[in-house]
């Protein structure tokens, strides 16, 4: 309870947890990682088939990977580069290997992966929406950022691709699981691993994410 704010067996292969928000420990439980703070309300979104919130959605990235939060693309789409130019004031994205950008439009989640060395922008989507404007927005952002950061080698040569992630059904429970699949896609891309999971794995992956967040470390 002191370590996790909830009840979690130690064995990695059989992680489980129960909400206990009424306890004094749960109410005061916090996970602090750099400038981020997770509460039991945040961690509780991993319970059952809840929708994950933005605090939980992306976590514990390797140093060579940069995650944007789910508000980034919406701000870029509506305000242009001027609306997001300060988001990387302390980060040189062109020194990273990979950028991961979650796309949240109404109830649909998708993901953009930017391979900096290869200059590729890949749009991952499970529902064939083919949001062709999205890679174009990201490409324009990268070019504007290259000018601002005086990285003119990255002004040209960008290529865009669309890839299907494993499709999901569209029940209300499945929609909630899409929000949980997204961090798993991010994790696999960040670690260079294949997408070897599906919806049937969601209960186990939710519990694993809970433990990863509490330890601020990915379970490989």
pLDDT digits (tens, 9 = 90+) for 2-29: 666 665 544 445 444 454 555 555 667 7
User: Hey, what's the torsion of the CAs at 135, 141, 146, 152, to 10 degrees?
Assistant: 50
Give domain status of residue 212, yes or no: no
Give domain status of residue 82, yes or no: yes
Query: Are the CB atoms for 83 and 114 separated by under 8 Å?
Result: no
| Alpha-carbon separation of residue 165 from 110, 126, 168, 215 (angstroms) | 9, 5, 9, 28
Q: What's the whole-number mean pLDDT along residues 65-91?
A: 92
Total of domains in the chain: 1
pLDDT digits (tens, 9 = 90+) for 179-194: 667 778 888 888 888 8
Give domain status of residue 46, yes or no: no
Q: How does residue 218 score in pLDDT terms, banded at 50, 70 and 90?
A: confident
Picking from 92, 209, 199, the residue whose alpha carbon sits closest to that of residue 148 is 92
pLDDT of 79 above 50: yes
Query: In this structure, what CATH number is given to the domain that contains residue 133?
Result: 3.40.395.10
pLDDT digits (tens, 9 = 90+) for 89-147: 889 999 999 999 988 777 677 889 999 999 999 998 876 666 778 889 999 999 999 99
Q: What's the whole-number mean pLDDT along residues 61-73?
A: 83
Range of the domain at 74: 62-198
């Amino acid at each position: 309870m002191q370590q996790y704010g909830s009840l979690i067996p130690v064995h990695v292969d059989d992680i489980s947890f129960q909400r206990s928000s009424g306890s004094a420990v749960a109410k005061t439980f916090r996970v602090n990682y750099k400038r981020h703070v997770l509460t039991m309300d945040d961690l509780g979104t991993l319970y059952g088939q809840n929708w994950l919130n933005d605090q939980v959605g992306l976590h514990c990235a390797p140093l060579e990977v940069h995650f944007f939060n789910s508000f980034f693309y919406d701000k870029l789409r509506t305000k242009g580069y001027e609306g997001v130019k300060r988001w990387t004031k302390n980060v040189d994205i062109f020194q990273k290997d990979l950028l991961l950008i979650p796309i949240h439009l109404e109830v649909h989640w998708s993901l953009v992966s930017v391979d900096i060395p290869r200059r590729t922008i890949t749009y991952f989507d499970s529902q064939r929406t083919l949001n062709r404007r999205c890679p174009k927005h990201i490409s324009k952002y990268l070019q504007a950022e290259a000018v601002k950061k005086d990285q003119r080698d990255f002004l040209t040569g960008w290529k865009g691709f669309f890839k299907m992630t494993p499709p999901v059904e569209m029940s209300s429970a499945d929609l909630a699981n899409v929000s949980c699949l997204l961090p798993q896609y991010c994790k696999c891309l960040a670690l260079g691993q294949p997408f070897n999971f599906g919806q049937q794995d969601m209960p186990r992956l939710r519990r694993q994410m809970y433990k990863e967040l509490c330890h601020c470390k990915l379970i490989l």
